[in-house]
């Protein structure tokens, strides 16, 4: 799958990301990858559910991948922090 079909979920409202997914599907994409880290994981799940239940009932969840990234804290400490990640692949 192309990284061009990735929706990176952050702090914006859920409908912004839903619109991005729908735009990819209407543009001809067969798959859209929803990615999120940390506190945005629950928002990413909401995006996937709204897309497939409300707007595009023909879309199915193909895969869900979870993991952990190590990131450098903003205050430049030497210890790395672990941040949970999720990738949800929607397929038409």
Classify residue 43 as exposed, middle or buried by CB count within 10 Å of its CB (0-12, 13-18, 19+): middle
pLDDT tens track for 48-87: 999 999 999 999 999 999 999 998 887 776 788 899 999 9
The domains of the chain, with CATH numbers, are 3-91 (3.30.110.20)
Alpha-carbon gap, residue 89 to 10, rounded angstroms? 17
In the prediction, which pLDDT does 37 show?
97
The token pair at 57 is 């009932």
User: Per-residue confidence at 45, pLDDT binned at 50, 70, 90?
Assistant: very high
């Amino acid at each position: 799958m192309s990284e061009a079909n990735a929706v990176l979920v952050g702090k914006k409202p859920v409908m912004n990301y839903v619109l991005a997914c729908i735009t990819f599907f209407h543009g001809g994409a067969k798959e859209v990858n929803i990615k999120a880290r940390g506190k945005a994981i629950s928002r990413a799940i909401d995006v996937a559910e709204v897309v497939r239940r409300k707007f595009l009932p023909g879309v199915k969840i193909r895969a869900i991948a979870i993991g952990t990234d190590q990131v450098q804290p903003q205050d430049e400490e030497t210890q790395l922090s672990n941040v949970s990640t999720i990738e949800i692949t929607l397929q038409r």
